[in-house]
Structure 1
Amino acid sequence: MTTPTEMCDISAVELRRMIGTKEISPVELLESCIGRIEAVNPAVNALVAMDLDAARRAAREAEKAVMRGDELGVLHGLPTGVKDLNDTAGLRTTYGSPIFADHVPEKDERMVAAVRAAGAVIVAKTNTPEWGAGANTRNPVYGATGNPFDPKRICGGSSGGSAVALSLGMLPVCTGSDTGGSLRIPAAFCGITGFRPSPGTVPSDKRGFGWAPISVQGPMGRTAADASLMMAAQAGFDSCDPFSTPIDGMSFRTPQPVDLGRLRVAYTEDLGFAPVDNDIRAAFRSKVRAFKGLFRECVEATPDLGDANDVFEVLRAVGYLARYKAWYDEDPAKLGANVRANYEQGLSMTLADFSRAHSEQTKAYRRVQAFFKDFDLLLCPVTPVTPFPWTQLYMTHINGEKLRTYFHWLALTYGITNTGHPACAVPCGVDHESMPFGLQVVGPHKGDAFTLGAAHALEQAFAAKPELARPIPDLSKLNGVVNDFRV
Structure 2
Amino acid sequence: MTDPCDLPATEARRLIGGRKLSPVELTESCIARIERVDHAVNAMVARDFTRARAAARAAEAAVMAGNRLPPLHGLPLGVKDLEDTEGLRTTYGSLMFKDNIPKADQGFIATIRAAGGIVLGKTNTPEFGAGGNTRNLVYGATGNPFEPTKSAAGSSGGSAVALATGMVPLATGSDMGGSLRNPAAFCGIVGMRPSPGLFPSEKRLLGPSGLGVLGPMARSAADLGLMFDATASYDPRDMLSAPLSPDEATSRAAADLGTLRAAFTADFGFAPTSRQTRALFADRTARLAPLFATAEDATPDCRHADETFAILRAVNFLASFGATYRTAPERLGPNVRANVEEGLGYTAADVARALHAQTALYWAWQHFFTTHDVLIAPAVTIQPRPWTELFPAEIDGAGTKSYYHWLALAYAVTLAGHPSLCLPLGTDEHGMPFGVQIIGRRHADRAVIEVAKAIEAIGAATGPELTRPVPDIGKLAAARPISGMDGFLAMG
Same fold (TM over 0.5): yes
- 1:382-393 matches, within 5 Å, as 382-393=379-390
* 1:386 alignment partner AA: Q
Q: Distance in 2 between matches of 1:433 and 1:194?
A: 23
1:59 maps to what in 2? Answer: 56
Partner SS, residue 409 of structure 1: helix
CA positional deviation for 1:52: 0.8
The residue aligned with 2:188 is 191
User: Which aligned pairs between 1:193-232 and structure 2 lie closer than 5 A?
Assistant: 193-232=190-229
Determine if contact 2:45/2:122 at 8 Å carries over to the other structure.
yes
CA distance in 1, matches of 2:166, 2:253: 25
Amino acid at match of 1:103: N
Change (3 A) 1:201 1:380: same
Q: Amino acid of the residue matched to residue 124 of structure 1?
A: G
- Asked if the contact 1:272/1:302 (under 8 Å) is kept, the reply is yes
Q: Is the 8 A contact 2:133 2:390 kept in 1?
A: yes
Specify the SS of the correspondent of 1:464. Answer: helix
Amino acid at match of 1:361: Q
In structure 1, what residue type is equivalent to 2:468? R
Corresponding position of 2:475: 477
Letter in 1 for 2:10: V
C-alpha deviation, 1:248, in angstroms: 6.6
Contact 1:231 1:253 in 2 (8 A): no
- 1:146 and 2:143 correspond: yes
In the TM superposition, what are the counterparts of 1:83-98 in structure 2 within 5 Å?
Answer: 83-98=80-95
| Conserved 8 A contact 1:228-1:252 | no
Task: Give, in angstroms, the shift of residue 255 of structure 1.
Answer: 5.1
**Residue 368 in 1 paired to residue 365 in 2?**
yes
List runs of 5+ in structure 1 lacking aligned partners.
Answer: none
- 1:14-53 alignment to 2 at 5 Å? 14-53=11-50
The equivalent position to 1:409 in structure 2, one of 394, 406, 424, is 406
Aligned-pair CA distance for 1:310: 0.6
The number of residue pairs the alignment matches comes to: 484
Matches within 5 A, 1:272-311: 272-311=269-308
1:160 aligns with 2:160: no
What SS does the aligned partner of 1:445 have? coil
For structure 2, the residue ranges without an aligned partner over 5 or more in a row are none
Larger CA deviation: 234-243 vs 268-277: 234-243
Q: Could you report, residue by residue, the CA deviation over 1:50-104 in whole angstroms, capped at 9, with x for unpaired residues?
A: 1211110111111111111111111110011100000000000000000000000
User: 2:489 aligned with 1:486, yes or no?
Assistant: yes
Q: What's the TM-score once normalised by structure 1's chain length? A: 0.97
SS in 2 for 1:310: helix
The alpha-carbon deviation at position 441 of structure 1 amounts to 0.5
Q: Secondary structure at the match of 2:477?
A: coil
Q: Distance in 2 between matches of 1:20 and 1:253?
A: 21
User: What is the correspondence of 1:124-143 to structure 2 with a 5 Å cutoff?
Assistant: 124-143=121-140
1:388-442: CA deviation from partner (whole Å, max 9, x where unpaired): 1001100011121111110000000001000000000001111232210001101
Per-residue deviation, residues 232-267 of structure 1 (Å, max 9, x unmatched):
222111111111111179966985410011110000
Whether contact under 8 Å (1:152, 1:389) holds in the other structure is yes
- What TM-score do you get using the length of structure 2 for normalisation? 0.96
Matched, 1:399 2:396: yes
Hey, what does 1:116 align to over in structure 2?
A: 113
The CA distance in 2 between the partners of 1:388 and 1:237, in whole Å, is 39
| Counterpart-to-counterpart distance in 1, 2:156 and 2:187 | 11
